[in-house]
Structure 1
Amino acid sequence: MEFDFSLLLLALPVVFLLGWLASRLDLRQLRLESHQAPKAYFKGLNFLLNEQQDQAIDAFIEAVQSDPDTSELHFALGNLFRRRGEYERAVRVHQHLLSRGDLVADDRHRAQHALALDYLKAGLLDRAEEALLKLEGTRFEAQARLALLANYERSRDWEHAAGIASKLEAAGQGSFAGRQAHYLCEQAAARVTGQQPAEAMSLLRQAMETAPQAPRPRMDLATLQRAQGNHEAALATLTEAMLQSPAATPLIAPLLADAAIAAHAIAPALALLKTRYEQSACIDVLDAIVNLEAANGDNAVTARQWYARHLEKEPSLVAAAKWIAGEKLEHEQFHPQVQRALDHAVKPLTRYRCAACGFEAKRHFWQCPGCQAWDSYPALRVEEL
């Protein structure tokens, strides 16, 4: 039986028409889906700009349901959950991304980094550490190391923190010598608590070599030397600290005065403190001078004269309260009430304030309890800032 080519010619237009109709239907469906997803996405973006996070989350969930393969929508949704404190939902979103086999390597690393941030925000430090360590060798390596450093500091794992700081410095992320010195001082403090003074002293000397200009290692070493009864060595250490770290003089001065009294070496300490006071009038240095002169046998009039001289240089309410405490007032019966009011007024002025976050404290901190920044507390008190 011969094939009729005329039937083939008649069928060709029909096949072409059916193919054209099918392609039009597919294109229409594709356009509809692509139109719906961006519409929901931009709606969510608009809610975000208006700080309407609940509505933004609903819009992004709608967009994800319309196009479940879009990784950017998942990232946006996960970040929103984290910002709202819904860490479990953020973790689920980023874990879902990591479970996808079609995810490109860069997006996989990005999801791993986002998951680590979820764990950090949720306070799951062990899981955060595990997630961050997986980012070695990726473009998120530097960010992961910084997060690891904060993680180790938060958990007071000073040895691992020192290792990460060394890697960051080697990678050109800045100098971490000051932090390394603090880590060594923290380890030394733990050794002192554990009755291991020799190891503590070794760590403090290592800290001095790591950051020669840092005042804390020498101050901690002097405290340890005094605890061992070696007041002369403590005085020498504090004198060196004052020379190496002039800005920390207000912190060092009280310790130096106590060490000088214990070592019976008041004269050289007085000379050094008076020189520093003339260079920069400071109430803590002045208090140290007054204490040394009192220990040297001078009477209370000298102390009042010192505070009066300070008031000539600086309008200090703290110095005024100290001066008036030793004065004989015309209406002496009201002196206790006046003194009590002055002491209450100067309390906020004698605090230390973090330069990074403004957190105030009665004592000086090397690491701010509020923002965790290192060396953010000036040596001066609030009144003198």
Structure 2
Amino acid sequence: MEFDLTWILLGLPLAFVLGWVASRFDLRQLRAENRRAPKAYFKGLNFLLNEQQDQAIDAFIEAVQNDPDTSELHFALGNLFRRRGEYDRAVRVHEHLLSRGDLSRVDRERAQHALALDFLKAGLLDRAEDALQRLEGTPFEAQARMALLAIYERSRDWPHAATIAHKMHQADQGDFSTRQAHYLCEQAQALTTQGDLPAAQALLEQAIAAAPQAARARIELARLQHLMGRPAAVLDTLQVLAEQNPAALPLAAPLLVEAATATGRVSQAQALLSAHYAQAPSLDVLEALVSIDASDAATRPAARQRYVQHLDKERSLVAASKWLAGEKLEHEEFHPQIQRALEHAVKPLTRYRCAACGFEARQHFWQCPGCQTWDSYPARRVEEL
């Protein structure tokens, strides 16, 4: 059979023409797609840059409709919904992403994390907890654990909070020993309220072992020992507190005086408080020393002189008000009005203030009620800061 070169000569131009037509068709289709989807996408970006979120959402919805398989557009749209507070729409977007069978593992983890954030922002803590737990073993694990810790603290679920804090501590995500001690102290307080004092004591001893440098566990233990009628143990516990964490002693100064009086070891308590006051003058320690002097007839006249001595060191309106309360003025008939005005003026100065957010309170908190930060309240009054 002879091979006819004529067919080859005719076929080459035909193949070239067909290839050129196909390439032009694909090019036109690509250009059409680029004009359609990216135009809406870049329009949305432009609206975002101009802080026009409503128009940006409309543009991204248009882009998603043109190309429903583009996951990045879904992420952008879901994040926009969350920022606007439209959490139900954000949830639907991210749940739609998770329902896709062709989604990559990386994008699936991103969508799971975004869904957890949607639930958190919406205040759906039980659903957020479930979504966050699914992030174990993913690149979002550390963030998920921190969010879970916040949920458990907010709901006062201290055992679960302790479990998460232990995991984070073991994973070198920070030192959570002090926070774990706080959780034990919270559980001990609940047991004390229920009347189970021995179990509360056991938890407080665990807290001291977990964070020996922390002040709260020893102060709570001293208060528990006081409830159990063991003043000698109270004094010994607070003696260790003064050695381990002297800055926290003002919080326990009244309890120290009470325990010392009950055990007849007032001179020991006075020496301890005087040494602390010499290092760091404090209104609470000053009050404790005044109360010790006032309890003894021999030292009672000198008790109020401590306020004057304090004024030599500190410009304290609180100390001045307390000293003036026992003085006789030239116009004695006006003394009650003047004293009431001074006491009203010094009330804000005797509060405690959070170092993280500035929230002020009449009592000392271990966790700020405003910003939820632990150990943010110094053991000193506002006037002393």
Partner in structure 2 of residue 217 of structure 1: 217
Deviates most, 133-142 or 80-89: 80-89
Q: Retained in 2: the 8 A contact 1:241–1:252?
A: no
For 1:367, the equivalent position in structure 2 comes to 367
Amino acid corresponding to residue 289 of structure 2 in structure 1: I
Helix, strand or coil: the match of 1:257?
A: helix
Give the equivalent residue in structure 2 for 1:101.
101
Q: Distance in 1 between matches of 2:77 and 2:348?
A: 45
Distance 1:176 1:267 in 2: 39
Q: Distance in 1 between matches of 2:232 and 2:200?
A: 19
Higher mean alpha-carbon deviation, 204-213 vs 44-53, is at 44-53
Q: Which moved more, 1:20-29 or 1:286-295?
A: 20-29
Match of 1:87 in 2: 87
How far apart, in 2, do the equivalents of 1:78 and 1:371 lie? Answer: 28
- State the superposition RMSD in angstroms: 2.3
- Answer whether contact 2:293 2:300 (CA < 8 A) is retained: no
Whichever residue aligns with residue 175 of structure 1, its letter is D
Code of the residue aligned with 1:85 in structure 2: it is G
Compute the TM-score of the two structures, normalised by the length of structure 2: 0.92
Distance (whole Å) between structure 2 residues aligned to residue 45 and residue 303 of structure 1? 72
Q: Which residue of 2 aligns with 1:258?
A: 258
Give CA-to-partner distance per residue, 1:85-120, whole Å, 9 cap, x none: 221111111111111111110110111111111112
Question: What is the CA-CA distance between 1:173 and the residue it aligns to?
Answer: 0.9
Please name the residue that 1:294 is paired with: 294
* 1:121 corresponds to: 121
Q: Distance in 1 between matches of 2:38 and 2:327?
A: 78
The Cα shift of 1:181 comes to: 0.5
Q: Secondary structure at the match of 1:356?
A: coil
Whether 1:199 aligns to 2:199 is yes
Query: C-alpha displacement at 1:176, in angstroms?
Result: 0.7
CA 226–37 in structure 1, closer or farther in 2 if over 3 Å, else same: same
Deviations 1:319-378 (A, max 9, x none): 122122222122222222222222222222211111122221111111111111111111
Query: Is 2:71–2:97's contact at 8 Å kept on the other side of the alignment?
Result: yes
Count of residue correspondences:
384
Q: Which residue of 2 aligns with 1:45?
A: 45
Show CA shifts across 1:218-269 (max 9, x none).
1111111111111111121112112111121221222212322333322111
> Structure 1 residues 171, 339: CA separation in 2 closer, same or farther (over 3 Å shift)?
same
2:273 maps to amino acid: L
* Cα distance, 1:102–1:305 mapped onto 2, change above 3 Å: same
The residue aligned with 1:28 is 28
Equivalent residue number for residue 330 of structure 1:
330
Could you say which residue in structure 2 is the equivalent of 1:378? 378
TM-score by length of structure 1 reads 0.92
- SS of structure 2 residue aligned to 1:347: helix
Distance 2:35 2:310 in 1: 74
- Residue segments in structure 2 that go unaligned for 5+ positions in a row: none
User: Which residue identity lines up with residue 151 of structure 2 in the other structure?
Assistant: N
- Which 10-residue stretch deviates more, 45-54 or 249-258? 45-54
Which residue number corresponds to residue 231 of structure 2?
A: 231
Matches of 1:362 and 1:20, distance apart in 2: 84
Question: Which residue of the partner structure matches residue 168 of structure 1?
Answer: 168
Change in Cα spacing, 1:228 to 1:378, as seen in structure 2 (3 Å) is same
Q: Does 1:283 align with 2:290?
A: no
| 2:181–2:211 Cα contact (<8 Å) kept | yes
2:72 is matched with: 72
Distance in structure 2 (CA, Å) of the matches to 1:227 and 1:159:
25
Distance 1:358 1:72 in 2: 40
1:303 aligns with 2:290: no
Provide closer, same or farther for how the CA distance between residues 43 and 330 of structure 1 changes in structure 2, counting only shifts above 3 A: farther
Name the amino acid aligned to 1:323.
Answer: W
Q: Which runs of 4+ in 1 moved over 4 A?
A: 4-16, 298-301
Unaligned ranges ≥5, structure 1? none
C-alpha deviation, 1:21, in angstroms: 3.4
Partner of 1:351: 351
SS at match of 1:255: helix
**One-letter amino acid matched to 1:107:** D
Structure 1 residues 8, 376: closer, same or farther in 2, change over 3 A? same
Partner of residue 186, structure 1: 186
Query: What is the alpha-carbon distance in structure 2 between the residues aligned to residue 262 and residue 41 of structure 1?
Result: 77
Deviation, structure 1 residue 11: 7.1
